[in-house]
Amino acid sequence: MHPLSLFHFSWPERAAYRVPLPGGRTLELGARTLVMGILNITPDSFSDGGLRLDPKRAVDDGLSMIEDGADILDVGGESTRPGADRLPAADEMQRVLPVVEGLAAHGAALISIDTYKSEVAREAVARGATIINDVSGLLYDRTLGQVSADTGAALVLMHTRGRSREMYELAVYDDVVREVGEELRGAIGRAVAEGVREDAIILDPGFGFAKRAEHSFEVLRRLPALAALGRPILSGPSRKSFLKVALGERLPPDREWGTAAAVATSVLLGAHIVRVHGVREMVDVVRVADRIRSST
């Protein structure tokens, strides 16, 4: 027998999930990796702030992302980059609701609302959003969970600590993966206590949030450990500053090749959804990485 024939390798298993959505629909996760396109309607987001403040431009960009292969569009009206200022709910709704409504009228992809405010989420779901993406893991507004429970919208719970201006002071871990897992389990508990169905929950380890670069790389490397939480995983490394440790000092748009490596790693290690800025390029990365997974 040839010695190479003795070697067998398989990627970590990726469990299949059916996440309920409003209107009796379901989000099927596991057979392939879904791509969530980032649609920021902000003047100050770290990568693309100021590009889509006109609702028509934002809707057109979202439709272009769908043409490029996005399965989900994540619409956000407040920058959540570390150090960002908070935005009143009324201002956030003025930015995002026309975009959500415009995209929903086309019905070509699922819409996620990236907010931690219950009033914004409720209005966005009323206009067609089916997923609520909460960067705080219900730490900022627990009643956001009630919106998911009342409307049937799926709920993404991201790991973080503290608010944006203090999160790096709280980035102290003995075992970052174990502690992120424990704190995400706590977020699940908060959601269930507010009436959220556990099968409606998706988890995001929160690369770059209350984590220094070495923490984010460690969480990415050990992503399969979070599968023990029993919920699908959303990975969002796109253009994040932790990539600069490997790439050197670069502006966010110049981190796309580094993003490709992190996205491919996420797929190979079992992520169900990847959240990205460059949809066209990352759809190609995901398709190849999925093919590699399925070839073992």
**195-246 per-position pLDDT tens digit:** 999 999 999 999 999 999 999 999 999 999 999 999 999 999 999 999 999 9
User: Mean pLDDT over all residues of the chain?
Assistant: 93
- Residue-level pLDDT at 164: 81
Spot the catalytic one: 211, 240, 255, 293: 240
Exposed/middle/buried for residue 144 (C-beta within 10 Å: 0-12, 13-18, 19+)? buried
Task: Decide if pLDDT at 12 tops 90.
Answer: yes
Q: How far is CA 244 from CA 160, 209, 239, in A?
A: 20, 15, 9
Q: How far is CA 255 from CA 46, 47, 242, 251, in A?
A: 12, 10, 10, 7
**18-36 per-position pLDDT tens digit:** 999 999 999 999 999 999 9
The predicted model scores a pTM of: 0.94
Question: Once rounded to an integer, what is the mean pLDDT over residues 87-93?
Answer: 93
Contacts of 67 (CB under 8 A, 6+ apart): none
pLDDT band at 121, cuts 50/70/90? Answer: very high
Q: Annotated catalytic, 231? A: no
**123-153 per-position pLDDT tens digit:** 999 999 999 999 999 999 999 999 999 999 9
Spot the catalytic one: 275, 280, 291, 293: 275
Q: Domains in the chain, ordered, with CATH?
A: 17-290 (3.20.20.20)
Q: Annotated catalytic, 127? A: no
